[in-house]
Amino acid sequence: MPWQSITLQLAARDAEALSEALLDAGAESIAIEDAQAGTPQEIARYIEPDLDAPAGWHLNRLEVLLRPDDDADRILREAARAAGIATLPSLRRDRIDDDDWVRRSQAQFAPLAIGERLWIVPSWHAAPVDAGAVVVHLDPGLAFGTGSHPTTRLMLAWLERTLARPRMPAPCVLDYGCGSGILAIAAGKLGAARIDAVDTDPQAIRATRDNARCNGVALRAVLPEALPGGQYDIVVANILANPLIALAPLLGARTRPGGRIALAGVLTTQAAEVIAAYQPEIEPRVAARDAGWALIEGVRR
């Protein structure tokens, strides 16, 4: 029987929350990609009535794969409610064969170059022949993080720049909200000495362990309550603005004095609020932007 495919566009600020809620509600997989920037009129239905749409506001396109016998309306309804989205935008429904879905899915994930030498390479592609390339082998799966989303690209580029600085000894890294483990694995490939990865989703912990094993990277992936005490030279968290604000005391305390912290999953319009949550213990600033998203970095005083 053919699988069900549902495609919809919504504001980037809601895309990650909805994708996670769809997986929790029973979707088989989610693909997220950038759509074109919308005009204020085009995106008016995706933002609160009392907010002005900023210039360059971006939309994300979600392609949702459901099993042939799934109740698509129920899954969409439950996911929207869990993500706090009152009304979903219009969507397109398709039926696709197994082989067609595999080809379509694989076509979306070509090798991705980030920074000067870091590559994210799916298993069905050959690794680059450049001797200086740092390659993370990663296939898209149920846990968030393939390198294609702007927030992940921002964080990977930051890790490459930060870990390129000579350090003795090599730094210890905490990836909080690890998803697929892409940031933790990249940190290991780029020279981190010890890596801990944390997520509230057991599925993400399993995905991180499996992906780390495939890449030959030693790390510890655990639920938050299982993380031992201690501080880190580098703390990274690619989540969303509200969780990052709530986690400010914890993530700040986990960063050693003089250590560096990087935060992503933050729209440029939310950056000031996130920065305020991490002061005064940390000196945060917007270090980079991509497609309406911001990366915030700081140094622990």
241-248: long-range contacts at Cβ-Cβ below 8 A with a sequence spacing of 24 or more?
A: 241/265, 241/266, 241/267, 241/270, 241/273, 241/274, 243/177, 244/274, 244/277, 245/273, 245/274, 245/277, 247/176, 248/277, 248/278
Q: Is 98 part of a structural domain of the chain?
A: yes
Q: Is 131 part of a structural domain of the chain?
A: no
Most confident range, picked from 7-16, 43-52, 225-234? 225-234
- Find the mean pLDDT for residues 142-168: 79
Q: Which domain range does residue 80 map to?
A: 3-104
How many domains is the chain built from?
A: 2
Residue 47 has pLDDT above 70, yes or no: no
Are residues 260 and 151 part of one domain? yes
pTM above 0.85, yes or no: no
Q: Could you read off the pLDDT of 67-83 as tens digits, one per residue?
A: 889 999 999 999 999 88
Are residues 289 and 217 part of one domain? yes
- Residue 211 maps to which CATH number? 3.40.50.150
Q: Is 128 part of a structural domain of the chain?
A: no
pLDDT-based confidence at residue 98 (cuts at 50, 70, 90): low
- The residue among 38, 73, 104 that closes a domain is 104
Residue 101 has pLDDT above 80, yes or no: no
- The residue among 104, 132, 160 that closes a domain is 104
Are residues 187 and 94 part of one domain? no
Are residues 72 and 161 part of one domain? no
- Residue 115: per-residue pLDDT: 87
- Find the mean pLDDT for residues 105-128: 76
Are residues 287 and 235 part of one domain? yes
Q: Is 70 part of a structural domain of the chain?
A: yes
Q: Is 226 part of a structural domain of the chain?
A: yes
Mean per-residue pLDDT of the chain: 84
